[in-house]
Amino acid sequence: MAGRARLSPVGAPTRGTTNPNRLRRVDRWLAHDPAVTRLLRGFPDPLVVDLGYGASPVTTVELLRRLRRVRADVRVLGLELDPVRVAAALPAADQPWLDFRRGGFELAGARPVLVRAFNVLRQYAESEVAGAWKLVLDAMPPEGLLVDGTCDEIGRLASWVTVGSTGPLSLTLSMRLAELARPSTVAERLPKILIHRNVPGERVHALLSTLDECWAAAAPHRAFGVRARWVSAVGMVRDRGWPLLGRPDRWRLGELTVPWDSVAPR
């Protein structure tokens, strides 16, 4: 894949844990979010980077397949710091649509319009997050978007921050409803910038507390199924004054997106 001059990789190695369909929740969101689809359809020859894909390239291959529903000629580049992981992934490459390269937050000289970075910043200190975001965004066009998130090992709980050149834009929570005891369970999978902020007095704690209260209040809707209960609970959250983004049909998938300002650390 064409790009800028190669740069020295920046970052620290991750555990590399990955499983098929682990990132299906964020991929499904990427393929439907209006801002993301505008990027993919509006740029000529759009490139997407999967940053820190792990010990297996499976989720990068899945990302390409899912984004092709939005733009058939989209290209995906998987980046890893570990050359052994890159070598192991190369047999899955499908030139010119899918490639793997050694790289980190500097993006290996590539200039993508979209970067997916999942379970990458979890091991870093909260104070390091802004600097990592800046490195990534500096390598992208001004319109580019970074999606920085965390999920559990099999993708039942996930959350992510969408970041643009002006800073964070939104927070999305996504949960498998069939196994959900209470929404605040997702707190253990908040992005690094928020995971230590789930304490009284912080906005994200207020959001999760409100979600739990509304989930409990919506219990009578269980008779109509878990999705009906979640949709009712999210409607109550909105009625309590929380600004929600995105279409209501996304709620049925266990999603909830709010503007960043509503959950930003104090």
pLDDT, tens digit (0-9, with 9 covering 90-100), for 85-116: 999 999 999 999 999 999 999 999 999 999 99
Q: Is residue 3 part of a domain?
A: no
Please check the confidence at residue 30 and state whether its pLDDT lies above 90: yes
**pLDDT for the residue 93:** 97
Q: Is residue 200 part of a domain?
A: yes
Domain that holds residue 41: 24-257
Do residues 206 and 214 touch, judged by C-beta distance below 8 A?
no
Please check the confidence at residue 133 and state whether its pLDDT lies above 90: yes
Q: What is the pLDDT of residues 159-197, one digit of tens each?
A: 999 999 999 999 999 999 998 999 999 999 999 999 999
Q: Is residue 13 part of a domain?
A: no
**pLDDT for the residue 5:** 47
Q: Total domain count for the chain?
A: 1
**pLDDT for the residue 226:** 96
Do residues 244 and 257 touch, judged by C-beta distance below 8 A?
yes
Q: Indicate which CATH number applies to the domain containing 234.
A: 3.40.50.150
- Confidence band for 4, pLDDT divided at 50, 70 and 90: very low
Q: Is residue 10 part of a domain?
A: no
**How far is 59 from 173, CA to CA, in rounded Å?**
19
Cα dihedral 117, 120, 124, 125 sign = positive
Q: What is the pLDDT of residues 223-247, one digit of tens each?
A: 999 999 999 999 999 999 999 999 8
- Confidence band for 15, pLDDT divided at 50, 70 and 90: low
Q: What is the pLDDT of residues 249-265, one digit of tens each?
A: 999 999 999 999 999 99
Element (H, E) at 50: strand 47-51
Over residues 77-86, mean pLDDT: 96
**pLDDT for the residue 10:** 72
Amino acid at the residue 114: L
Question: Both tokens of residue 158?
Answer: 């996930």
Q: Is residue 8 part of a domain?
A: no
